[in-house]
Amino acid sequence: MREKEKINKKNKNINQKKKITKNSKNKKSKKILHYPPIRGRINIMNNVIMNKGNKNPKKNPRIQLGGSQMLKNNKRSTNKPKSKILNYNNKKVTNGKTRQKNLNNKVIISYNDFELNSLDYKNALLYDKRTCCDYYLSLLKRKIALIFSFFPINDYNSMIIKSCMFSFSFPIYYAINFAFFTDAIIHEIYENGGKYDVMYFLPKISISFVISYYITAIIKFIFLSERNLYEIRKQSSLNISYTISDKEKKNLTIKYTIFFILGIAFLGFFWMLLSSFGAVYPNTQMFIFKNALISFAISLFYPFLINIFPAIFRMCSLNSKEKNNECIYKLSKFLQVL
């Protein structure tokens, strides 16, 4: 009986060893089936697809079985921006409204309102396809101070500079109205018993409005950044635009420093002047404030009237069948500045 038990134990050990060897073989076969790893196989397939038709795929540095470099290259290739394709040699730019060219060049020409309004006559005939209402609204967006300063417009100006100009504009109206406040007006207020007569002040309000309005227009023309950036954008090659961009950056820094220095100095001087005047004539401060408020309100409604004329002249020059309307077009460009 003992001998039989020994023989059975030996047979069991032999069977267990056979099972272990079979399992190990199966595991090795599974490992062999999964070699190379999944990442490596995906990268190999990507390399085969990318190098299809290449006679010497070994020379391509992108083919690596490890997978890390290939994944980086794939990420770089897939994450390229699809918009803003620039081709300055052919004078083509993306993002905007006007003309479109597709397929072969894959480029879209576009201009914002400032660029379209600044075009010469020949280019305006080609690119400016706006209606009269669109052109009129583009002028209103630029001329109405509240819209231009606080609402986002597709232009090349900084919102900070525009809001600062708006905050400086009302003190300018206040200062010009204060300059017309003479001793004769103070005597007239005294005779009327301190009553505010709008018809008496209306001529002086209108004159102060015209002066203040065009002072702010000159400030915008000098210190806004859209003309500097437009000079870079309209160049025919990238090399010229890069060289000009350095100069324009310096010009903008000089502009902004002068603007803030002059603005702060003007506000300080004007505050001292008004405080001293109010100490001597305390009852006349409200009259100056009302005159400044009326002239500033006129500046908000004035663009609705004045911008009708450049819109009519521009559309007549661009949409008429006659060819020689360049003089009318130049007149509309002059009137749009007013």
Does any domain span residue 227?
A: yes
- Asked if residues 70 and 62 have their Cβ atoms less than 8 Å apart, the reply is yes
Neighbours of 102 (CB within 10 A): 8
Provide the phi-psi class of 64: left if phi over 0, else alpha when psi is between -120 and 50, else beta: beta
The confidence score (pLDDT) of residue 16 equals: 61
Q: Which pLDDT does position 254 carry in this prediction?
A: 94
Task: Answer whether residue 120 is part of any domain.
Answer: no
pTM comes to 0.64
- In-domain check, residue 231: yes
pLDDT number for residue 182: 86
Q: How far apart are CA 188 and CA 209, in angstroms?
A: 22
Based on the fold, state whether residues 54 and 172 are members of the same structural domain.
no
Q: Which amino acid is at 30?
A: K
Q: Which domain holds residue 34?
A: 2-78
**Number of domains comprising the chain:** 2
Domain boundary among 48, 78, 108: 78
- Residue 221 CB neighbours (<10 A): 11
Last residue of a domain, one of 78, 96, 114: 78
Per-residue confidence (pLDDT) for residue 110, from 0 to 100: 76
| Closest by CA position to 292, among listed 175, 150, 190 | 175
Sign of CA dihedral 131, 136, 142, 146: negative
Q: Is residue 336 part of a domain?
A: no
Q: Extract the residue ranges of the chain whose pLDDT is less than 50.
A: 25, 27-107
Amino acid 318 reads L
Claim to verify: residue 26 and residue 153 sit in the same structural domain: no
The amino acid at 80: K
Say how far apart CA 65 and CA 336 lie, in whole Å: 65
74 plus 155 within the same structural domain: no
| Pair 38, 149 in one domain | no
* Inside any domain, residue 218: yes
CB 72 within 8 A of CB 65: no
pLDDT of residue 4: 55
Same domain as 180, residue 301: yes
Residue 171 lies in a domain: yes
Domain shared by 65 and 177, yes or no = no
The answer on 31 and 157 residing in a single domain is no
Asked, for residue 52, whether it belongs to a domain, the answer is yes
pLDDT digits (tens, 9 = 90+) for 77-113: 444 433 333 443 444 443 334 444 443 444 455 788 8
Reference 175, options 267, 265, 261; nearest CA is 267
Q: What is the pLDDT of residues 152-173, one digit of tens each?
A: 778 888 889 999 999 999 999 9
| Residue 104: per-residue pLDDT | 46
CB 188 within 8 A of CB 174: no
Q: What is the pLDDT of residue 265?
A: 94
Q: Which residues of 28-38 are buried (b: 16+ CB within 10 A; e: fewer)?
A: eeeeeeeeeee
CA angle at 79 for the pair 234 and 238, rounded to the nearest 5°? 20
| Residue 138 falls inside a structural domain | no
Q: Looking at the structure, do residues 183 and 56 belong to the same domain, yes or no?
A: no
The Cα 115–Cα 98 span in angstroms is 11
Cβ-based burial of 213 (10 A; exposed 0-12, middle 13-18, buried ≥19)? buried
